[in-house]
Chain A
C-alpha cells in the first residue's frame, strides 16, 4: 500500500503550487469586460426572449398551450401571420418588424413544475442564450422563484399563469410583472355569485394544493365566503401532483360540510374533481341542502380533462375564448388558424404579456430593464381581451375584468365547456396594494 495518509513535504509543496497556479489562472476569464450598460444587450439583429414553461408534470397541458401562444406572439411581432392582437391593441407603438428593428428570436425550457429545474432553465437562458426577458410558469411557486432569479440577474420577468397573491404581493419584485389575475380577485368576483346561487348559510370544506398559490387562494376564498356568512369546516392541504385524492375526499362526506372548495389546478383539479363526483358528492343532500362543488380557478383545459363532471360548477377565470370583444376575436382567430383549436386562458395571458413587453421596449426606445420597467408601470391599455386594463405601478399587477364562469350544461362543441356567467368589472376586484405587504425594491439592469 502507498503511504498516502502521510504525504511528503515535497509532495505537499508541489501540489500546493500546482493548485495555486490552477486557481489563479481562471481570474483571466472572470475579469471579462462589462462594457455594456445592461445585461445581455443585443448586439446582432435579433433579440432573444426566454419561454420557460412546464413541459412535464401536473401543469404540462397549460405549458404546452403557453408555448403555442408564445410562438404565435413571436410570429406576430416579426410581422408574419395575420398580426392577431397587434391589430386591436391600444395604444400601440410596435411597427410589426420585430422590436426596435430587431427580429425576435426565442429559446425554450422545461420548468418541470419544480423551482430548481425552472431556475436552472432560466439561468441557462440568461447566461447562455442571452435572453433579455424570461416569461412563463404555470405554478406560482415556480413563478416566484424565477421572478426573484430575474431580479437578481437583472432581466425582466413577465409572469405567465400564476394566480397566487404572493407573486405581486409579498414576493413582488421591481423586474417582475403579472397580467394574470390573482386569488384575491377570484374571491371578490366569485363571492356575490356564490351567495346568489347557494345562499349565505353554507358550510365549506377546502382541499388545497400545498404551496404558495393554494395557501393564498384558500385564504382569499375563505375570507370572501366567510364575509357572506359561510362557515369553514376544515381546510386540508394536499401535495401538488398527488394523483389520487380519494383519501382526502372520503372525510368530506362525514364532516358535515355542504360545499367542497377545490383549490386545485391543472391535472390535480381534473383528478380531485373527477373523484369527488365519482364518490357521489354532488348527489348528496347535507344539512337539507344540495351538496355543491366550487373550483375557484377554472380553465378550459381542465374542464376538457374533467369532461362531464364540470357541468354546473362555478369558478373564475382570467379570460375565455368565447368573449366577443375585438381583441379576443382577433386572438382566437389567429390561434385557431394556426393550431386548429381555441386558446386557453394560459395561452392568452402569455401572448398578451409578450406583446406588452415588446410594446414597452418600443415605447421606452431601449431593452434596458429599468427603461422597460418605467414604460410598463402605470401603463394603461385596451384591446387585449379584458377591456381597459391598468398595470398598477405599486405592485406590477394588472387590473381588469374578471370572469365568473360555470361548467356548461349543454356544450355545443368539445371546446364550449364553460359558460360566462358574469364579467366582473375591474373596480369590483381592485384592492389596496399594501394589504399583502412585500417590497418592489429597485430595478436591476444586471451590471
Chain B
C-alpha cells in the first residue's frame, strides 16, 4: 500500500496532466486530423459517459448493458427543457442529471437483485424497452425516428421572460449569449468532463470507492460479514446513470436534437467497448477508450478509395492496387471491422486495456534500468470483473 500522501500527490499530478491534455486538445489533435470542434465535443461527452460507466463496471464489476437508456433520458430531458424553459444549458443539465438519476434508481432497484450475467440481461432488456417505447408508444414525447427538435414556436418560458424569445437564426443553446457550438461548446463540455473526472477520482479514493471495490472482489464474503452490499451497488448505479444523463444532455447542448437511436443496444455496447478498450477500473482508461472509438468512427469511416490512393501513391502501380483494395476493406464502411480487430487484439493481449499496456511498458523500462519502481497511481489493475 502506498502512503496517502504519495497517492494524493500522484492524483493531483494525474488530474493536472489530464486537465492540460483536455484543454489543449484543439492544438495537439490537429496533426491527427481530429482537431475540429464536433469531434472534440464527442471526445469530451463520450469520455464523460465512459467515466461514469466505469464507476459502476470498473469498481463494482456489475456489467450494465443498458446505459444508453440513461443517455437517451438525459437527451430527451435536455431538449424538453430547451423547449419549455429556454435555451440555457444549465437548467437542462440539472434536470437531465436529476431525471436520469431517478430513472437509474428505478432500473437499478430491480436489476441489482441479480448479479453477473442476469444483471447484464436485465439492464439490456430495460434499455431495449426504453428504445422501443421511444419509437412507438412515446412518440408524442420523443417524436420517434424523426427525432425531437427545438422549434421557434415552442414556449421557451425563460427566454421570453428575458426578452430573448424571438430568434431570427437557428436555435442554438447559449449561456448568457455565448453559443454552445464550435469551440465554446467544446470547452463547455470539457469543463464538465474535468468536473466528472475530479468526482471520479474522489470516488475512487474514498471509503465508498473501497467498498465498491470490495463488492467486485468478493461480494459473498462481504455478505457473510454482515454488510448489505446492495445500497452501495445501487448508489454506484445511480451515480453512473447520472453521468450518462449528463453526457446525453451535453450531446443536446452542442446540437439540440435527440433521437431514439441513442438508446439502441449498440450504443450501450459501445460504452462497454470504450471502457474495456481503455482499461476498466482505471481512472484514465475509459476516456482514452472513448476517444479511440470516436476517432475511428469519424476518421476511418471517412476514408475512401481516393484517400487510400493518395496514401499508398508511393508504391508501384500493381502493388498499390492490391494494397488499396485490401486496405479498403478496413476503412469507409468497413471501419467496424478495424474496430473489431483492435478490440480482439487488446482483449487477447492486454486484458487490462490500453492503460495496463502502458503501465507494463513503463514497468519493463524501469526493470531494465534496474530500479524497482512503485506501481502507477491508478488502482484496480485487476483485469476483469470476477462476477
* Residue B383 CB within 8 A of the other chain: no
Q: Is B259's CB under 8 angstroms from A2's CB?
A: no
Find chain B residues with CB under 8 A from A106 CB: 306
Q: Is A5's CB under 8 angstroms from B187's CB?
A: no
Q: Is B39's CB under 8 angstroms from A124's CB?
A: yes
Cα(A117)–Cα(B33), bound, Å: 18
Q: Is A240's CB under 8 angstroms from B38's CB?
A: no
* Residue A61 CB within 8 A of the other chain: no
Cα(A55)–Cα(B298), bound, Å: 14
Cα(A108)–Cα(B303), bound, Å: 7
Q: Which of B20, B23, B182, B336 has the most CB of A within 10 A?
A: B23
Choose one: A1, A124, A141; the contact of B4 (CB below 8 Å): A1
Task: Bits for B253-284, please: 1 = Cβ < 8 Å to A, else 0.
Answer: 00101010110000000000000000000000
* Residue B357 CB within 8 A of the other chain: no
* Residue A444 CB within 8 A of the other chain: yes
Find chain A residues with CB under 8 A from B170 CB: 148, 151-152, 444
Q: How many residues of B contact A (CB 8 A)?
A: 58
Cα(A141)–Cα(B33), bound, Å: 29
* Residue A128 CB within 8 A of the other chain: yes
* Residue B359 CB within 8 A of the other chain: no
Q: Which of B19, B202, B333 has the most CB of A within 10 A?
A: B333
Task: Bits for A299-335, please: 1 = Cβ < 8 Å to B, else 0.
Answer: 0000000000000000000000000000000000000
Cα(A124)–Cα(B298), bound, Å: 8
Binds A, one of B50-58, B79-87, B142-150, B225-233: B142-150
The answer to whether A2 and B191 touch (CB under 8 A), given A110-B332, A210-B144, is: no
Q: Is A114's CB under 8 angstroms from B301's CB?
A: no
* Residue A239 CB within 8 A of the other chain: yes
* Residue B316 CB within 8 A of the other chain: no
* Residue B168 CB within 8 A of the other chain: yes
* Residue A22 CB within 8 A of the other chain: yes
Q: Which of A25, A119, A128, A212 has the most CB of B within 10 A?
A: A128
Q: Is A127's CB under 8 angstroms from B332's CB?
A: no
Q: Is A212's CB under 8 angstroms from B332's CB?
A: no
Cα(A212)–Cα(B23), bound, Å: 40
Q: Is B187's CB under 8 angstroms from A144's CB?
A: no
Cα(A106)–Cα(B306), bound, Å: 9
* Residue B358 CB within 8 A of the other chain: no
Find chain A residues with CB under 8 A from B182 CB: 30, 127
* Residue B223 CB within 8 A of the other chain: no
Q: Is A4's CB under 8 angstroms from B145's CB?
A: no
Q: Is A1's CB under 8 angstroms from B26's CB?
A: no
Closest B residue to A241 by beta carbon equals: B145
Within 8 A of B (CB), among A1-44: 1-2, 4-5, 18-19, 22-23, 25-26, 29-30
Choose one: B38, B172, B191, B255; the contact of A127 (CB below 8 Å): B38
User: Separation in Å of the B343 CB from the closest CB of chain A?
Assistant: 18
Find chain B residues with CB under 8 A from A26 CB: 23, 26, 183, 187
User: Separation in Å of the B196 CB from the closest CB of chain A?
Assistant: 14
Find chain B residues with CB under 8 A from A4 CB: 8, 202, 205-206
The answer to whether A120 and B38 touch (CB under 8 A), given A5-B206, A19-B194, A110-B301, is: yes
Number of A-B residue pairs, CB cutoff 8 Å, is 136
* Residue A436 CB within 8 A of the other chain: no
* Residue A255 CB within 8 A of the other chain: no
Task: Bits for A113-149, please: 1 = Cβ < 8 Å to B, else 0.
Answer: 0111101110110011100000000000100110011
Q: Is A145's CB under 8 angstroms from B257's CB?
A: yes
Q: Is B135's CB under 8 angstroms from A210's CB?
A: yes
Cα(A29)–Cα(B147), bound, Å: 33
* Residue B328 CB within 8 A of the other chain: no
User: Separation in Å of the B75 CB from the closest CB of chain A?
Assistant: 9
User: Separation in Å of the B108 CB from the closest CB of chain A?
Assistant: 24
Within 8 A of A (CB), among B34-72: 34-39, 42
* Residue A109 CB within 8 A of the other chain: yes
* Residue A430 CB within 8 A of the other chain: no
Q: Is A108's CB under 8 angstroms from B304's CB?
A: yes
Find chain B residues with CB under 8 A from A55 CB: 301, 332-333
User: Separation in Å of the B111 CB from the closest CB of chain A?
Assistant: 25
Choose one: B7, B19, B333; the contact of A2 (CB below 8 Å): B7
The answer to whether A141 and B187 touch (CB under 8 A), given A124-B302, A128-B39, is: no
Find chain B residues with CB under 8 A from A152 CB: 169-170, 172, 181
Q: Is B302's CB under 8 angstroms from A1's CB?
A: no
* Residue A211 CB within 8 A of the other chain: yes
Task: Bits for B205-231, please: 1 = Cβ < 8 Å to A, else 0.
Answer: 111001000000000000000000000
Q: Is B259's CB under 8 angstroms from A114's CB?
A: yes
* Residue A392 CB within 8 A of the other chain: no
Find chain B residues with CB under 8 A from A25 CB: 23-24
* Residue B321 CB within 8 A of the other chain: no
* Residue B16 CB within 8 A of the other chain: yes
Cα(A206)–Cα(B385), bound, Å: 49
The answer to whether A23 and B259 touch (CB under 8 A), given A4-B206, A128-B39, is: no
Closest A residue to B210 by beta carbon equals: A1
The answer to whether A210 and B172 touch (CB under 8 A), given A4-B206, A120-B298, is: no
User: Separation in Å of the B146 CB from the closest CB of chain A?
Assistant: 4
* Residue A442 CB within 8 A of the other chain: yes
Find chain A residues with CB under 8 A from B172 CB: 152
Cα(A18)–Cα(B336), bound, Å: 40
* Residue A410 CB within 8 A of the other chain: no
Choose one: B42, B132, B136, B251; the contact of A237 (CB below 8 Å): B136
Q: Is B333's CB under 8 angstroms from A123's CB?
A: no
Choose one: A60, A117, A212; the contact of B146 (CB below 8 Å): A212
Cα(A237)–Cα(B205), bound, Å: 51
* Residue B165 CB within 8 A of the other chain: no
The answer to whether A22 and B332 touch (CB under 8 A), given A210-B144, A240-B145, is: no
Identify 7 new A-B residue pairs, CB closer than 8 A, beyond the known A2-B4, A152-B170. A19-B19, A30-B187, A115-B261, A119-B257, A123-B37, A211-B145, A441-B169
- A-B contacts, 30 of them at CB < 8 A, read A1-B206, A1-B207, A2-B8, A4-B8, A5-B202, A22-B23, A23-B23, A26-B23, A30-B183, A30-B184, A107-B302, A110-B301, A110-B335, A114-B261, A115-B259, A116-B251, A116-B257, A116-B262, A120-B38, A120-B298, A128-B36, A141-B145, A148-B170, A209-B145, A210-B135, A210-B136, A211-B144, A211-B146, A239-B136, A442-B168
Measured CB to CB, the residues of B under 8 A from A are 4, 7-8, 16, 19-20, 23-24, 26-27, 33-39, 42, 132, 135-136, 139, 144-147, 149, 168-170, 172, 181-184, 187, 191, 194, 202, 205-207, 210, 251, 255, 257, 259, 261-262, 298, 301-302, 304, 306, 332-333, 335-336
Measured CB to CB, the residues of A under 8 A from B are 1-2, 4-5, 18-19, 22-23, 25-26, 29-30, 55-56, 60, 106-110, 114-117, 119-121, 123-124, 127-129, 141, 144-145, 148-149, 151-152, 209-212, 237, 239-240, 441-442, 444
